[in-house]
Structure 1
Amino acid sequence: MSRMVLVISEDEVLSLVSIKDAIEAVEEITRLQGLGRAYLLPRRRIYTGSSVLHIMAAASEDHGVSGLKAYISTRDKTNFVVLLFDNSSGELLAMIEADALGRLRTGAASAVATKYLAKESSKILGIIGSGRQARTQALGIASVLGVKEIKIYSRNPENASRMASELREKGFNAYSVGSYEEACKADVIVTVTNSKEPFLKAEWIQEGVHINLVGSNHPSRSEAYPEVFERASIVVTDSKEQAMIESGDLLAAVKANTISWDRVYELWEVVLGRISRRSWEEITVFKSHGIALWDLALASLIYRRAVSKGAGKEIPFKGYLKSLSCC
């Protein structure tokens, strides 16, 4: 008899969890990562002439699940899916459409880093980029800080204005600005772009700023010039192992000798209190790449809520053949 697997759609994901749920889930799995009870495999990529397949995986003792996220990028779009498995039975529990999930967990991770590393008095958020990931960055950070003002700069002014309008409808004092430098006149800066060349200059960074570098997760892309890391007192990433493979920003900074890998910490060290801001004037940086632990934590929560609320669609799935003879 085939077991039933729950298929959960993008719309259902959005109805089941909020950005605040995602922040709690990411913070908890980051704590478990530091305690050695959650494990991950860094992202790997397979290139063809017309597409790129991305695969990343994680497991958690406390959540009782393992899983992977796979997504394929073509010239036209990217499709995402998370597969969630039960650690005890080995059964496939769920297949989850994972574009919204990915945006939520990425915004949540920046929120967690900002919660622990930004000055408590931070009021102004500057966002560079206005694409698919930018909105959850704003919503996530605003959930952990008393944000009074959100500045948005984009090379596409129409997109920046549209995003500002959407945030104003949610009650935020948001507006677009005309330059990178103007967006950097803030207490917290987020860069969330697909830029291949760095644009964030060290001379634009004011004392006491916290920076979330989110856009680059490929060695051929970067957002910050190496000198930004030289000015930072604390540099944190999600996974040093993954950063050494794909962080265009950090790889360039290490090559330029503005930072060394032994000065790069992981987010769990911040969450567990091993690393912290020591004074208001320190500059702190979180280099986010996106790790499978975040996907796993949020997927686990989505699955549990879908089961309790009767959401999703069940389909039969066996995944193994009892018979020794199959061919």
Structure 2
Amino acid sequence: MSLFLSEKDVEQLLSMPMVLEAVEAAHRDLSSGQACDVPRQRTRLPTTTLHILQGALPRMDAIGYKAYTSNRSGVRFLVHLYRVSSGSLRAVIEADRLGMMRTGAAAGIATRWLARSDAQVAGVFGAGWQAEGHIEALAAVRPLRRVKVFARRTEKLAAFCARMSARLGIEVIAAVSPEDVVRGSDIVSTVTTSATPLFNAEWLSPGTHVNAAGSNSLIRRELGEDVLKRCSPIVVDSVETALREAGDLLPLLEKGRLHARELLELGEVICGRHAGRSTDDQITLFESQGMAIQDLAVAVHLEELARELGVGIELPYGS
């Protein structure tokens, strides 16, 4: 029987180590030709937009999609997971927390492969839902001693920092300005919906690693051309997806100041096909747009653990 997992079930089962393992494995499979991923498709109406990401991980007997709607009333996420071998439905999973964790994990995996091994200070733009998973993932792959957070809505920033400090057991503090976030940080991450660049390139120290996780459409831009000029390599989760929706990169690609051949996929770095960081002074960049195979890999782990522990509800359809 197919299984339904609610947000409450996902919260009970999911852990960052599990998600990091799943996301890294998905990128390895993609790089080695053992997975396929279809860039996000959207159906737009004046009141609601439907977003669909789909892909397959044959090695895990998994094929499926994540669908979500965005509306003024909120965003609603569902993952549908099927078996490659039989076409039958394995699970339907509410995926708000799943998506938050896998987005953070993608930046965590990139940080594992691109940031300096001695990175201890992180600067983060954004203090929303997505930033929680992002900071947790960074702390899981590097021995962070301090995280500086800047957000435009300052009224909730202090509570966010206190909550993350208590959860992770490290110092998470409110930054006083964008410059304060960037200067002296070994890792700089952007997790916002900003339409304009968040910081100046001159604030970056040699050897910094940058994660940009919010610019997944033309109307969003977290990094300016000055920052991109200082970054090498520029790593993306998928070149095909980046060429469609990486708002940070598309203006330079259209002007011919950046070429698709200069973009590296994260899986290629993980597999050793291309070098990531080669010197301590490089400023490296990971541009994250999100991929179906990341969601599906996490969903497989969730389904297996849920069946083992007897969590979830059996569905009367899909067998």
TM-score, normalization: structure 2?
A: 0.97
| Equivalent of residue 68 in structure 2, options 60, 65, 71 | 71
Aligned pair 1:299/2:277, yes or no?
no
Q: How many Å separate the matches in 2 of 1:57 and 1:21?
A: 21
Gaps of 5+ in 2: none
SS of equivalent residue, structure 1 residue 83: strand
Aligned pair 1:284/2:281, yes or no?
no
Matches within 5 A, 1:1-327: 4-170=1-167, 171-185=169-183, 186-273=185-272, 274-318=274-318
SS of equivalent residue, structure 1 residue 249: coil
Q: How many Å separate the matches in 2 of 1:7 and 1:246?
A: 31
Asked if 1 retains the 8 angstrom alpha-carbon contact of 2:2 and 2:318, the reply is no
Aligned residues between the structures? 316
Q: How many Å separate the matches in 2 of 1:143 and 1:111?
A: 8
Deviation of residue 253 (structure 1)? 2.5
Gaps of 5+ in 1: 320-327
Counting aligned pairs with the same residue, the percent is 36
Q: How many Å separate the matches in 2 of 1:38 and 1:66?
A: 9
Asked if 2 retains the 8 angstrom alpha-carbon contact of 1:31 and 1:271, the reply is yes
Amino acid at match of 2:19: A
Per-residue CA deviations over 1:196-231 (Å, capped at 9, x if unaligned) read 122232112111000000011111111000121111
Per-residue CA deviations over 1:71-128 (Å, capped at 9, x if unaligned) read 0000120000000001111111110000000001001100000000001110001000
Asked if 2 retains the 8 angstrom alpha-carbon contact of 1:237 and 1:267, the reply is yes
Q: How many Å separate the matches in 1 of 2:246 and 2:35?
A: 22
SS of equivalent residue, structure 1 residue 108: helix
Asked if 2 retains the 8 angstrom alpha-carbon contact of 1:230 and 1:258, the reply is no
Root-mean-square deviation (CA), in Å? Answer: 1.1
Q: How many Å separate the matches in 2 of 1:234 and 1:159?
A: 35
Q: How many Å separate the matches in 1 of 2:186 and 2:128?
A: 22
Deviation of residue 276 (structure 1)? 1.9
Deviation of residue 318 (structure 1)? 4.4
In the TM superposition, structure 1's runs of 4+ consecutive aligned residues that sit over 6 Å from their partners are: none
Larger radius of gyration: 1
